[in-house]
Amino acid sequence: MSDLPAEVLELLVCPACHATLAWDYEASELACTGPDCGLAYPVRDGIPILLVDEARRPGTAG
């Protein structure tokens, strides 16, 4: 799977807490950098799914 362009990643924020997102290459997901949030959002076919209902909670398997 291709990476998201840096320009796009800079614009994206966590829908739950508005913290920045970091690309997790190993899991192919965007992880919230907020210390109290930490949700991980899936990326499917190169498209970030930024829905809280679709996010993985910290410490749970994807």
What is the set of domains in the chain, with CATH numbers?
Answer: 6-54 (2.20.25.10)
| Whether the Cβ atoms of residue 30 and residue 10 lie closer than 8 Å to each other | no
Q: How far apart are CA 49 and CA 52, in angstroms?
A: 9
* Predicted TM-score of the model (pTM): 0.84
CA atoms 11, 21, 57, 3: torsion sign: positive
Residue 56 DSSP code: B
Q: How far apart are CA 11 and CA 57, in angstroms?
A: 22
Per-residue pLDDT reduced to its tens digit, 14-45: 999 999 999 988 888 999 999 999 999 999 98
Higher pLDDT: 58 or 33? It is 33
